[in-house]
Amino acid sequence: MAGSEEEKTVFDMEAASALVKELRDTCASGKTRSYEWRVTQLKCLVKLCDENEKEIADALRQDLSKPEFESIVYEIAMLKNSCRVALKELKHWIVPEKANTPLAVFPASAGILSEPLGVVLIISAWNYPFLLSLDPLVGAIAAGNAMVLKPSEIAPATSSLLAKLVMKYLDNSSIRVIEGSVAETSALLEQKWDKIFYTGNGRVARIVMTAAAKHLTPVLLELGGKSPVVIDAGINIQVATRRIIAGKWGCNNGQACISPDYIITTKDYASKLVDTLKIELERFYGKNPLESKGLSRIVNSNHFARLTKLLDEDKVSGKIVYGGERDKENLKIAPTILLDVPLDSLIMNEEIFGPLLPIILVNKIEESFDLINAGSKPLAAYLFTNNKKLKEHFVMSVSAGGIVINDTTVHLAVHTLPFGGVGESGMGAYHGKFSFDAFSHKKAVLYRGFAGDVAIRYPPYTPGKLRIMKALIVSGKRNIIRAVLGWGKV
């Protein structure tokens, strides 16, 4: 049984191979291809959420001290919405797309058929352990695949619950959960998959890609990076800071891949920004944020130590203008703002993934674009401004997985937009139909009859045949007429 203590101890290479074979047999039967199977499984996912909301929220609280509001809104409700979109649109997604055909193959018709890739592996992350496990599953189910889900062992309560709930609600002949750590993940990565979907960091992503390369397995990588926030003068600073706080500390206390990583603003505007951030942070989390029930804790002692190291570096230790308090026993760090942080500091050279927010100062706001582009391409980039030309320049010149103007993180909820990275922040995208496409193969199909067969495509080749064939391939009507009549050079 997936997730049981017995399976955890015996899941090795042999067990992984047997599991993949079992799932391939299910795929070969055609079971997962049917529209009815896909709809049934998506409805079962919704039922899983509806009937276990409290249990899911409790598991997230155990793993991250995640506030119930964040658990329900940002994990459970968002998953249900993904299912709702897929259930509503699936009948349209699976219809073959019509394709135009050139004169060279006349008479003919053509289409593009979305077919399931086969058996896929989904390796999820710990920061949103429920959503990031099951949201990719929605796309894999909608596309008609069989799959294995490997939840993160760093969120053990949610991992255990996922194993139990998937077994109870979904089709176990097609969908399985394997719990465990490095050994189990390694055994899974040794197998031949039709796609691997990994959410996490760049270090592990390289391991995943190396393993996938052995079998030429395509991968979709959802990573992260240092997502910048550029703040121009002349904006509604209160609204801007509230939206920054919501995206930074209101998203798992900064432990989110699209969380604002650092701010860039002008020297002239910095004091106003910092003062407003202080006011709004105190309004949201009180005078002692370590006691606030609205903030998640740091996931474990290793990440707490990593964040503490960033704070205690000599280059930044005197730059703290707000917060900095920490509670090692309860793994809590207060929202922390650092002003005028050196670019060569540790905090500016790795993804923070926590409640620390450095502010970089520039003379002119346009200097921020070059600063951003000098580093790795981020998963998200944010700009607050009322300047139309600045918005256009930002969108055209800054390369990021996604861009939001005058807000943070909310693009995640727009299912009509692809969600994914570029460069170091990932490859591929999902959400809405993009999830369906991520787990589908676009198969080209051309239909021809036996009429219209002409001698010009067959030997013996002649100059006249060559002229006509060149004109047909170029598909210009005037060229074809000239070629047939032997006029001029085609």
pLDDT digits (tens, 9 = 90+) for 216-247: 999 999 999 999 999 999 999 999 999 999 99
pLDDT at 485 over 60: no
- Asked about 83 being catalytic, the answer comes back as no
The answer to whether residues 66 and 252 touch, using CB atoms and an 8 Å cutoff, is: yes
pLDDT, position 3: 46
CA 298 – CA 255 distance, rounded (Å): 8
Give residue for tokens 């202080």.
278
- Asked about 222 being catalytic, the answer comes back as yes
> E strands along 436-489, which residues?
440-448
CATH level 3 topology of 13-223+431-442: Aldehyde Dehydrogenase; Chain A, domain 1 (3.40.605)
Lookup: tokens for 103: 């004169």
- Which homologous superfamily does the CATH classification assign to the domain defined by 228-424? Aldehyde Dehydrogenase; Chain A, domain 2 (3.40.309.10)
pLDDT at 148 over 70: yes
pLDDT in tens, 99-122: 999 888 888 999 999 999 999 999
The answer to whether residues 345 and 316 touch, using CB atoms and an 8 Å cutoff, is: yes
The answer to whether residues 199 and 219 touch, using CB atoms and an 8 Å cutoff, is: no
Q: Give bridge partners of residue 440 from the DSSP assignment.
A: 116
pLDDT in tens, 319-356: 999 999 999 999 999 999 999 999 999 999 999 999 99
* From 222, 280, 351, 424, active-site residue: 222
* From 27, 44, 83, 257, active-site residue: 257
Rounded to whole angstroms, what are the CA distances from 283 to 242, 261, 277? Answer: 10, 22, 10
Lookup: tokens for 455: 């001698």
The answer to whether residues 397 and 373 touch, using CB atoms and an 8 Å cutoff, is: yes
Least confident of 158-167, 219-228, 359-368, 468-477: 468-477
Cα dihedral 148/152/156/160 (nearest 10): -10
Cα dihedral 448/452/453/457 (nearest 10): -90
* CA nearest to 79, candidates 40, 159, 136, 151: 136
pLDDT, position 6: 44
What letter would DSSP give residue 342?
A: -
CA 28 – CA 9 distance, rounded (Å): 30
CA 73 – CA 85 distance, rounded (Å): 16
What letter would DSSP give residue 107?
A: S
Q: Where are the domains of the chain?
A: 13-223+431-442, 228-424
204 pLDDT tier (thresholds 50, 70, 90): very high
Rounded to whole angstroms, what are the CA distances from 181 to 135, 150, 154, 244, 260? Answer: 21, 9, 9, 34, 29
pLDDT at 370 over 70: yes
Q: What does pLDDT average to over the chain?
A: 94
Asked whether this chain's domains 13-223+431-442 and 228-424 adopt the same fold, the reply is: no
Mean pLDDT computed over 134-145: 98
- The two counts, helices (H) then strands (E), for the chain are 18, 20
Question: What is the pTM assigned to this prediction?
Answer: 0.93
- How many other CB atoms are there within 10 angstroms of residue 224's CB atom? 28
